[in-house]
Copies of this chain bind each other. A is one copy, B any other.
Amino acid sequence: MKPLRATALDAAAFAPFGEVIEAGAATRQFPINQGSTVRYHDLARIDPGEDGHAIVSIFRAQPRALPFEVSMLERHPRGSQAFMPLSGRPYLVVVAPPGERPATENLRVFLARADQGVNYAAGVWHHPLLALQAESDFLVIDRAGPGANCDEITLDEAVYIDLG
């Protein structure tokens, strides 16, 4: 198995896959509530599709042990899916560009900080949630609506992630 090196998550590197949800990535920010609060505005393209609607759920994830073997990916063709960490712990993000069958060499691994969420654009291949260190909750904003909305593939060649 090949090793896959994680790089720090940032908005520019993640742009082909969706958005990083963090205050620092905001293109618009402004004071509200008589100056007591700053609004970092509209950080993700929430896309429930034409016939769906956005829903909010909590995912409670068991931590993964490293090195972790990545042998499959999934995608949601009909809508975006956003994850925001609630438990103050970093996590791993594994993605591949949209397309029928992602090549192993096109996988990217990001180490997300505890204050960074991600929003996968519709159709972006990604690994299911990879919590680290301890059981962790995430707020998830995705789609409800008609039609099948989850494809899974097994990679031709498994890879493994290790932080070293």
- Give a binary string over A46-79; 1 marks a CB under 8 Å from any B CB, 0 the rest: 1010000111111111101000000000000000
Q: Which of B56, B62, B117, B119 contacts A36 (CB 8 A)?
A: B62
- Give a binary string over A113-147; 1 marks a CB under 8 Å from any B CB, 0 the rest: 00101010000000011000000010111001000
Interchain CB contact under 8 A, A22 and B58: yes
How many chain copies?
A: 2
Known A-B contacts A32-B128, A36-B64, A141-B141; the reply to A43 vs B21 at CB < 8 A is no
Asked if A156 is at the interface of the complex by the 8 Å CB criterion, the answer is no
Q: Which of B42, B48, B64, B144 contacts A56 (CB 8 A)?
A: B42
Residues of B within 8 A of A92 (CB): none
Which of A48, A54, A84 counts the most B-chain CB atoms under 10 A from its CB? A54
Interchain CB contact under 8 A, A115 and B137: yes
* Complex: A42 Cα to B44 Cα, angstroms: 19
Interchain CB contact under 8 A, B53 and A37: no
